[in-house]
């Protein structure tokens, strides 16, 4: 059904998504995070089904193909949050999320879940109703920024990535640059990701994301990484990662033009209708503006599942018809 493109396609990809911040309650206390809230704190929330459906409708109308579900890790460890879930009729975030993914699929948009550390059973439950999933490794170093963060132990995150590989889930991971890690730590993290890819072949993209200080956090006065650090890390990623793994940067956090020349091949999910809830101060650029910035390097839209995994059939029967409807013969987004 699908033809195979060249290994050097000569374009940069992106996806069109809606960002759904299901809950900002989290068990971790990352020193740089401006997203997290405790129940009772202003802005703390668990989105209700009708709120999620409203966001999905807006996304479908705007031509989005990805419903990006992002939320705090194991919020069930917070007693008040468990009461919120129970009031909705669910015992876990995972159980609630499966039902929301089903709704998204029925509405014509593919789920992609970023849920933090997960068990094999949790991954297995979400696999049939997700086109792809993700977990930022961030770093393999033990850092002060991750003090009081049980889910940021590097081996736990690597374990989740391994389990996703065993289950053949197309997966996104990445590094967070500038949170106290060294150049050697970055190299080590990239090598660990490469090992996973060589064994399981499930890593579709690696995000090289620059830390952005947030007011009110412990690291609000911490310096952001320099352009030189970001350029070097992108170069290292393009050298150390297998060729089939896309190197991604966030174009709302950094100018991608020079980095494309250093190996960036993807610009992530861009939303025409929702903000970046993790970095709300940084607006998504319009696709047209990005194309103008990239000049002669064309942009090409993809789905949340990368073309090679569409061609390999790494998706469930539950989303098969939707993927076939949304993709072209190469596995990219069909032109509309």
pTM of the model: 0.95
**CB 208, CB 247: distance < 8 Å:** yes
Token code pair at residue 223: 């310096």
Per DSSP, what are the bridge partners of residue 75? none
Total count of residues recorded for the chain: 336
Distance of CA 149 to the CA centre of its chain: 19
Fold (CATH) for 15-295: TIM Barrel (3.20.20)
Portion of the chain with pLDDT greater than 70, in percent? 97
**Cα–Cα separations (whole angstroms), residue 318 to 16, 31, 86, 126, 129:** 21, 39, 27, 12, 7
282-293 tens-digit pLDDT: 999 999 999 999
Confidence of residue 6 (pLDDT cuts 50, 70, 90): very low
32-48 tens-digit pLDDT: 999 999 999 999 999 99
Beta strand 12-23 with 266-270 is parallel
- What mean pLDDT is predicted for residues 216-228? 97
**CB 39, CB 24: distance < 8 Å:** no
**CB 237, CB 192: distance < 8 Å:** no
Dihedral pair phi/psi, residue 236, rounded to 5°: -60, -40
77-101 tens-digit pLDDT: 999 999 999 999 999 999 999 999 9
Q: Is the dihedral of CA 208, 113, 67, 108 positive or negative?
A: positive
Question: CA angle 199-200-204, nearest 5°?
Answer: 120
């Amino acid at each position: 059904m699908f033809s195979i493109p060249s290994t050097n396609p000569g374009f940069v990809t992106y996806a069109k998504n809606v960002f759904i911040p299901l809950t900002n309650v989290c068990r971790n206390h990352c020193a740089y995070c401006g997203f997290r809230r405790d129940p009772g704190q202003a802005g703390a929330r668990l989105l209700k089904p009708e709120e999620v459906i409203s966001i999905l409708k807006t996304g479908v109308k705007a031509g989005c193909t990805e419903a990006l579900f992002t939320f705090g890790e194991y919020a069930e460890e917070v007693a008040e949050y468990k009461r919120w879930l129970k009031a909705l009729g669910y015992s876990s975030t995972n159980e609630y999320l499966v039902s929301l993914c089903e709704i998204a699929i029925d509405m014509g948009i593919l789920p992609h879940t970023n849920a933090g550390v997960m068990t094999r059973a949790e991954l297995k439950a979400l696999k049939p109703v997700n086109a792809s999933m993700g977990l930022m490794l961030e770093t393999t170093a033990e850092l002060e920024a991750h003090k009081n963060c049980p889910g940021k132990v590097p081996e736990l995150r690597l374990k989740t990535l391994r389990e996703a590989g065993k289950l053949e889930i197309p997966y996104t991971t990445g590094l967070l640059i500038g949170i106290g890690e060294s150049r050697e730590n970055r190299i080590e993290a990239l090598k660990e990701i490469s090992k996973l890819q060589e064994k399981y072949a499930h890593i579709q993209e690696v995000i090289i994301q620059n830390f952005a200080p947030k007011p009110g956090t412990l690291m609000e006065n911490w310096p952001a990484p320099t352009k030189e650090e970001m350029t070097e890390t992108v170069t290292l990623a393009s050298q150390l990662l297998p060729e089939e793994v896309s190197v991604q940067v966030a174009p709302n956090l950094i100018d991608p033009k020079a980095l494309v020349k250093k190996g960036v091949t993807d610009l992530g999910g861009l939303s025409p209708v929702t903000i970046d809830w993790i970095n709300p101060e940084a607006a998504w650029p319009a696709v047209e503006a990005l194309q103008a910035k990239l000049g002669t390097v064309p942009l090409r839209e993809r789905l949340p599942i990368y073309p090679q995994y569409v061609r390999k059939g790494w998706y469930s029967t539950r989303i098969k018809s939707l993927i076939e409807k949304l993709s072209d013969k190469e596995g990219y987004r069909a032109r509309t």
